[in-house]
Amino acid sequence: MDRFNLNSQLEHLQSKYVGTGHADTNKFEWMVNQHRDSYASYIGHHSLISYFAVAQNESIARVKFEFVEKMLQPCGLPVPRDE
């Protein structure tokens, strides 16, 4: 197994997951992934979401819905990439 092969194998594996990054990932992209992961995680942990619901005085279902909606553009419009 040569060097390129070894690395490319791992990289190929990593690239199959959406949230992974690479040397050219910028702040915006990284943050978008973080936000999306966060919302997914909140929705997944029921205790968390009920906590948020109580804090905002909203129903659990609405909070959930809003989180899902927010996943679309969690950090606002994308930053143009400078080449």
55 binds other proteins (CB under 8 A): yes
- Using CA atoms, how far residue 61 sits from 18, 29, 46, 53, 64, in Å, is 26, 28, 11, 9, 5
Q: How far is 75 from 66, CA to CA, in rounded Å?
A: 14
Considering the complex, what minimum distance in angstroms separates the CB of residue 31 from other proteins? 5
58 binds other proteins (CB under 8 A): no
77 binds other proteins (CB under 8 A): yes
Q: How far is 62 from 59, CA to CA, in rounded Å?
A: 5
Question: Cβ contacts of residue 43 below 8 Å, gap of 6+?
Answer: 49, 64, 67, 68
Pick from 8, 46, 50, 51 the residue near other proteins by CB under 8 A.
Answer: 51
Binding site for other proteins (CB under 8 A): 1-3, 6-7, 10-11, 13-14, 17, 19-23, 25, 27-28, 30-31, 34-35, 37-38, 41-42, 44, 51-52, 54-56, 75-77, 79
